[in-house]
Amino acid sequence: MEENISKAKIAGLSYTIGNIILKCIVFFSLPIFTKLMSPTDFGIYNNYIAYETIISAVLGLGFYSTIKKAFFEFKRDFNSFYSSITLFMLLNFIVLFILVLSFNTQLTKLTGFDTEILIILMCQSFGSALLLIYASFLNVTFKYKEYLIISFINSITNILISIFLVIFCFPNASYFGRIIGTAIPYFLVASYIIFIVFYNGGFKLKKNYIKFALFMGCPLVPHVIAQFILNQSDRLLISKYIDDYSSGLYSYAYNICTILLVVLQSMDSSWTSWSYYKYEIHDNNIVKEKSKDYMLFSFNVFIGFVCLAPEVFKLMADESYWAGIDMILPLALSMFFLFLYFIPVNLEYYKKKTIFVSLGTIGAALINIVLNVLLIPKYSFSVAAYTTLISYFLLFMIHFIISLKYEIRDKYDVKVMLLVFIFSIIIFLGLTLISKYKYIYIVIRYFILLCDCLFIIIYFKKYYINILKKRRN
């Protein structure tokens, strides 16, 4: 077990660093596409991605969440478990694909996409669902190198093919070139994953594995769809009530803030794998002890991001996108609340209480829809950033209250969690109040950034010293 914990640390750190580098590649491609695509086409493409999110959730059946628990439950026959759920997903895809073709007229009216795009959408969604589960499989088996290679190829080919198609094939419909360029790598990844499963023993549908996966995963489908509503419905409703141009502005601001979420999610992935191993050997004290530093460091990352985000926002796109800059602060705080929500919800996963995961997220999603429907037509697209903030605030609070029943106080330093929660709100309110005063705003942000960097250097120096000692040995 200790050997596995050591492997989990190495794999987790490598996964975190590698995933951040991969996402940075995608992030730094953003100015290329904001130059090649108008805000309207950018909005259409992001609406397409919004639908891809919900379809991949239905195709995936929440199976990605079962991988870590199944690894401990079916250790001796884990590969067989993985092949069983992959085959079940393939059958699910075939059924849904036939349904989409049968009702393509109605779906075209609903989404605004023609049959050709709907077919591409289905194939990409299946590839995305397969990749998510395969990534979880590689994570728990410590095959982080393979995950990083696949993700790197997927990201690079996505960008290169999209640029080629937008410039040379679809200059007057850049959204379509971007859609095809995104879908092709996912189709190739899906083909590779299916081949690997066949190569490693073929598809085997075992009833007990499917039952386990459906029992844990299916309650999460409403949760994932509710997450889609929280993450994506605002841009769809902006397109509906205002226009695709405004949706493009909102999508750009949201994409800028996802770099913060990517960093925090990567940290969460490695933290979750390590903490699950500790739970298995009933070593809750070390998890609670380390959780303090984990949450403080994440808070420092959030502060650093909000201090630098306005400059990054302007650097990554031309002035046609700058009207959305005021949405950065509420969206960044939303991403931090989403990170805090990961902490109690991962405990719910470990306890197999996935029904509570769904109920909490559905409640927050319903509030998000109501607020968007009421406020977007009245206050324009920028209000969606604040409805998102309110929804993620409630999402964290709901799951935090639920987790109190499942020993979160024994596994996490709850006082520190609530402190970073409160101080993140204070930072947000303070920066929002002075944001109208251009030069004062800049000076205050960089002063906070300096203090943040000094805190990281001084408080976390014990980790740097420990790393240096290990390297010398």
pLDDT digits (tens, 9 = 90+) for 256-309: 888 888 888 878 877 887 787 787 777 778 888 888 888 999 999 999 999 999
Residue 432's alpha-carbon distances to 58, 139, 161, in angstroms, are 38, 39, 40
Contact present, 79 and 201 (Cβ < 8 Å): yes
Q: With the C-alpha atoms ordered 231, 330, 355, 411, is the resulting torsion angle positive or negative?
A: positive
Q: What is the DSSP letter of 167?
A: I
The span from the CA of 123 to the CA of 179, in Å, is 12
Residue, of 161 and 60, whose pLDDT is higher: 161
With bands split at pLDDT 50, 70 and 90, how would you rate the model's confidence at 449?
A: very high
For 187-231, the pLDDT digits (tens) are 898 888 888 877 775 667 788 888 888 887 777 677 777 777 777
Contact present, 353 and 217 (Cβ < 8 Å): no
The pLDDT value recorded for residue 16 is 61
Residue 437 CB neighbours (<10 A): 11
Rank 99-103, 147-151, 454-458 by mean pLDDT and report only the highest: 99-103
pLDDT at residue 42 is higher than 70? yes
Residue 332 CB neighbours (<10 A): 27
Instruction: Give the chain's radius of gyration (CA, Å).
Output: 22
Q: Residue 330 corresponds to which tokens in the numbers above?
A: 């509420």
The pLDDT value recorded for residue 97 is 93
For 321-353, the pLDDT digits (tens) are 888 889 999 999 999 999 999 888 888 877 767
pLDDT at residue 412 is higher than 60? yes
The pLDDT value recorded for residue 258 is 84
pLDDT at residue 140 is higher than 70? yes
389, HSE (Cβ side, Cα atoms, 13 Å): 17
Residue, of 219 and 430, whose pLDDT is higher: 430
For 72-110, the pLDDT digits (tens) are 777 777 778 888 888 888 889 999 999 999 998 888 888
Residue, of 247 and 16, whose pLDDT is higher: 247
Residue 116 CB neighbours (<10 A): 12
The pLDDT value recorded for residue 178 is 93
The single-letter code of the amino acid at 93 is F
Residue, of 84 and 386, whose pLDDT is higher: 386
Mean pLDDT of the chain: 83
Spatial neighbors of 101 by CB under 8 A, at least 6 apart, are 115, 119
Contact present, 338 and 392 (Cβ < 8 Å): yes
Q: Residue 465 corresponds to which tokens in the numbers above?
A: 């010293």
The span from the CA of 399 to the CA of 396, in Å, is 5
The pLDDT value recorded for residue 223 is 72
Residue 417's alpha-carbon distances to 64, 229, 288, 356, 423, in angstroms, are 27, 26, 11, 21, 10
Contact present, 306 and 234 (Cβ < 8 Å): no
Contact present, 393 and 269 (Cβ < 8 Å): no
Spatial neighbors of 42 by CB under 8 A, at least 6 apart, are 33, 34, 175, 248, 251, 252
The span from the CA of 177 to the CA of 175, in Å, is 6
Residue 190's alpha-carbon distances to 62, 132, 193, in angstroms, are 17, 11, 5
